[in-house]
Amino acid sequence: MGYINFNNAGSSFPEKSTLSIVKKYLENEKSIGGYLAESKYKKEINRFYTQLSKLINSKVSEISFLQSSTHALNFFINSINFSKNENVIIFDNEYGSNYLNLLNKKINHKVCNLEQNGQVSLTDLQRKIDKNTKMIFLCHIASQCGDLINVEEVGRLIKKINKNIIFVLDACQSIGQKEIDVKKIKCDILFGSGRKYLRGPRGTGFIYLNSNLKNKINPSLLDIKNALIKNNSYKIKTKNYPFETFEHSPALKLGLSNAIYQINKIGIRKIEKKIRDLSFFLRSYPFDPKKIKFYENINFLSGINTFSIKGFSSSEVSDFLLNKGILTSISNNQTSMHYFKKKKIKDVIRVSFHYYNSLREVKFLIKCLIDLIENK
């Protein structure tokens, strides 16, 4: 049975070419060994850096390949020293794993509430920034709510108030479905996942680190790739890929390299338009608002749409759709404690579209939802 994948915010279906190149590489490892295979595919593997830098408008040397977005943020947070007076600012859409990293480090933090339309209140943000604010964290598109946030506006404000504040952008749900320019956004850190809208393999992620920060970090995980031993001491190699270590999966890196190449080949603006059109079609359908509630602002749609249906638990809706051949997911208060507390709800059903999804598939989703509601 073939499934309709409306869980792209969890894990997209990889392209056939990505699966093929990973398989072919692993077959080479089997026949000539891991080191020689990596050397043979060096050019294709390293295309990861050029393709990603093209996608986000960065320098090649500002990117590091990692196992996941969680690893990326964890490595960065643990590479920065905080004084007891310094604080960070987060927003009430912050992802649970990101928040856990702050709690684990016992970092002082303030929470900014997003406005009713899902956008950042610049007035509230400006009020919360003080002389001890070291970093500001923001999700471009949250996992549990698909409102697309105007991050360029936020970046301009932050740097206007204090250019030394580190602006950290979580692009896990936006990279691959939304045009991103780190220079326009003015973010210092940007991290993301390979398995979501980039359509890469699981076990892949990345972090962008602005060159200006390289001398201010002390990577928490060291080996001979990112550090140099000298006279019973060591020095961090800050020129390239500061968060990378020697051991990684070249096969997965090669797969992500190909996936990003395909995104660039199609064109991110074309992808963005297709995804938004699918979401707009869903949201334009005249559902009974007393029976189904959507949580995104229709003026700031992305590929992620969340909802709840009166009289049904999220699990019941998700299971019903799965039996119809539709993959969805459920977001709960562990994905974003502050968001669900503010909304006074326990969880939501999430459907997330990608450019390879079709209008016919979205129409089938609508039909299934109507059948569920009307046959209660």
C-alpha 175/C-alpha 305 separation (Å) is 17
- Read off the CATH number of the domain in which 316 is found: 3.90.1150.10
Question: Which of the four pLDDT bands, split at 50, 70 and 90, describes residue 364?
Answer: very high
246: pLDDT strictly greater than 90: no
- How far are the Cα atoms of 154, 155, 158 from residue 126, in angstroms, in the given order? 10, 12, 8
237: pLDDT strictly greater than 70: yes
Backbone angles phi, psi at 53, to 5 degrees: -65, -35
235: pLDDT strictly greater than 90: no
C-alpha 234/C-alpha 239 separation (Å) is 15
Residue 139 · residue 120 · CB < 8 Å = no
Percent of the chain with pLDDT over 70: 99
Residues 254 and 299 placed together within one structural domain of the fold: no
Residues 314 and 247 placed together within one structural domain of the fold: no
pLDDT digits (tens, 9 = 90+) for 257-305: 999 999 999 999 999 999 999 999 999 999 999 999 999 999 999 999 9
- Which of 208, 234, 266 is the endpoint of a domain? 266
Task: Give the number of domains in the chain.
Answer: 2
Question: Is residue 141 helix, strand or coil?
Answer: coil
Residues 316 and 329 placed together within one structural domain of the fold: yes
Question: Is residue 86 helix, strand or coil?
Answer: coil
Question: Which of the four pLDDT bands, split at 50, 70 and 90, describes residue 202?
Answer: very high
Question: Is residue 342 helix, strand or coil?
Answer: helix
- Which of 266, 296, 320 is the endpoint of a domain? 266
The DSSP call for residue 175 is B
Going by C-alpha positions, the residue among 247, 207, 203 that lies closest to residue 223 is 247
Strand partners, 64: 207
pLDDT digits (tens, 9 = 90+) for 32-76: 999 999 999 999 999 999 999 999 999 999 999 999 998 888 889
Least confident of 63-72, 149-158, 160-169: 63-72
Residue 347 · residue 314 · CB < 8 Å = yes
- Which of 224, 251, 266 is the endpoint of a domain? 266
N- to C-terminal Cα distance for the chain? 27
- Determine how β-strand 133-139 pairs with β-strand 166-170: parallel
For residue 223, what pLDDT is reported?
A: 82
Residue 226 · residue 236 · CB < 8 Å = yes
Residues 198 and 247 placed together within one structural domain of the fold: yes
Question: Which of the four pLDDT bands, split at 50, 70 and 90, describes residue 331?
Answer: very high
Q: What is the mean pLDDT of residues 24-31?
A: 97
User: Residue 341, exposed/middle/buried by CB under 10 A (0-12, 13-18, 19+)?
Assistant: exposed
Characterise 118 by phi-psi region: left (phi > 0), alpha (psi -120 to 50), beta (else): left
Going by C-alpha positions, the residue among 249, 247, 207, 204 that lies closest to residue 225 is 247
Question: What pTM was estimated for this model as a whole?
Answer: 0.95
H helices of the chain, in order, are: 16-32, 34-40, 42-56, 69-77, 96-104, 122-128, 151-161, 182-185, 250-266, 268-284, 314-323, 337-343, 359-374
Q: Which domain holds residue 127?
A: 16-266
Q: What is the mean pLDDT of residues 300-312?
A: 97
Least confident of 102-111, 251-260, 365-374: 102-111
C-alpha 239/C-alpha 43 separation (Å) is 20
For residue 232, what pLDDT is reported?
A: 86
Residues 161 and 291 placed together within one structural domain of the fold: no
- Read off the CATH number of the domain in which 57 is found: 3.40.640.10
Residues 60 and 76 placed together within one structural domain of the fold: yes
Going by C-alpha positions, the residue among 262, 305, 273 that lies closest to residue 8 is 305
Question: Which of the four pLDDT bands, split at 50, 70 and 90, describes residue 341?
Answer: very high
Residue 350 · residue 329 · CB < 8 Å = yes
Residues 152 and 296 placed together within one structural domain of the fold: no
C-alpha 255/C-alpha 235 separation (Å) is 32
Q: At what angle do helices 359-374 and 314-323 cross, to 10 degrees?
A: 120
Residues 191 and 313 placed together within one structural domain of the fold: no
Q: Which two tokens stand for residue 143?
A: 């996992």
C-alpha 295/C-alpha 321 separation (Å) is 19
Count of CA atoms in the C-beta half-sphere (13 A) of 67: 9
Residues 158 and 80 placed together within one structural domain of the fold: yes
Residues 129 and 261 placed together within one structural domain of the fold: yes
Residues 66 and 178 placed together within one structural domain of the fold: yes
Residues 165 and 34 placed together within one structural domain of the fold: yes
Residue 155 · residue 185 · CB < 8 Å = yes
Place of tokens 């927003």: 91
For residue 245, what pLDDT is reported?
A: 84
